Amino acid sequence: MNFRAIRAIYLFEMARTWRTLLQSIVSPVVSTSLYFVVFGAAIGSRITQVEGVSYGTFIVPGLVMLSVLTQSISNASFGIYFPKFVGTIYEILSAPISYFEIVIGYVGAAATKSIILGLIILATAGLFVPLHIHHPIWMLTFLVLTAVTFSLFGFIIGIWADGFEKLQMIPMLVVTPLTFLGGSFYSVNMLPPGWRTVTLLNPVVYLISGFRWSFYEIADVSVALSLGMTVGFLVACMAIVAWIFRTGYRLKN
């Protein structure tokens, strides 16, 4: 293992975060706070409890997930897309470093950022609504698993994208809708039966459900299923990354 190389990539990527602190940390925290003000305080005060939890409290796990998902994808996709775009990728490819180590460096940094961000948003939420976390270990497990999985997914998008438009396309057109429709702001049980079935095809439902369970022990689907789906998606992303590096897809000609 070339640990020094992993460390170099990881620290390089983290340095980018601190350099772009406003964009990386402050802006997602501000936008999430806005959600709390609008949905939690303003509209939420008129909504009755959802499954025994006040609406403002209910949406906290979904909001954290929303940020963790989108930030993991954008951090990781940008992290690998940018060296491709400016050409500095030549150095990574010519270094004595395995593909596995490259992924650990980039995905590790992207996941670290979104985990930090998720925890900051959670702390921010604590200022607006009372929070109680029933299963902190599971909460962290789901947080880390999701951050890693979606950072891997972002890494794949970053390699696949050959323009800034494509880089934005999947997060904008696929991930954001899936997250909004994945039960961030409502319980799947609140939907009519037909829509409920359709919703269960959305993988994000399982992530948010599992994460919410670790807070309030309420879930749309069973926790085991949530965990299974998350790990399944993680494995699928890993397989695609392995294929990318084996074939040199969009990296080497």
The reply on whether position 88 binds other proteins by CB under 8 A is: yes
**What whole-number distance in Å separates Cα of residue 105 and Cα of residue 39?**
37
Q: Sign of the CA dihedral 67, 73, 76, 81? A: negative
- Which residue, 48 or 253, has its beta carbon nearer to other proteins? 253
The reply on whether position 244 binds other proteins by CB under 8 A is: no
The reply on whether position 159 binds other proteins by CB under 8 A is: no
Exactly one of 18, 52, 86, 192 binds other proteins (CB under 8 A); that residue is 86
Cα of 210 vs its chain's centroid, Å: 14
The reply on whether position 29 binds other proteins by CB under 8 A is: no
- Which residue, 90 or 195, has its beta carbon nearer to other proteins? 90
Q: Report the interhelical angle of 3-19 vs 55-86 (nearest 10°).
A: 110
The reply on whether position 165 binds other proteins by CB under 8 A is: no
- Report H helices in 161-222: 164-170, 176-180, 193-199, 203-216
**What whole-number distance in Å separates Cα of residue 41 and Cα of residue 101?**
45
CB-CB neighbours of 113 under 10 Å: 25
The reply on whether position 38 binds other proteins by CB under 8 A is: no
- Selected range binding other proteins among 6-14, 33-41, 48-56, 209-217, rule: CB under 8 A: 6-14
Exactly one of 126, 130, 177, 248 binds other proteins (CB under 8 A); that residue is 248
- Which residue, 85 or 180, has its beta carbon nearer to other proteins? 85
Exactly one of 97, 107, 122, 159 binds other proteins (CB under 8 A); that residue is 97
- Which residue, 134 or 250, has its beta carbon nearer to other proteins? 250
Return all residues near 84 (Cβ < 8 A) that are at least 6 apart: 158, 159, 250, 251
- Which residue, 2 or 141, has its beta carbon nearer to other proteins? 2
3-state secondary structure of 220: coil
- Which residue, 68 or 241, has its beta carbon nearer to other proteins? 241
The reply on whether position 15 binds other proteins by CB under 8 A is: yes
Closest CA to 227 of 154, 135, 110, 138: 138
What residues make contact with other proteins under the rule CB under 8 A?
2, 4-5, 7-9, 11-12, 15, 19, 86-88, 90-98, 248, 252-253
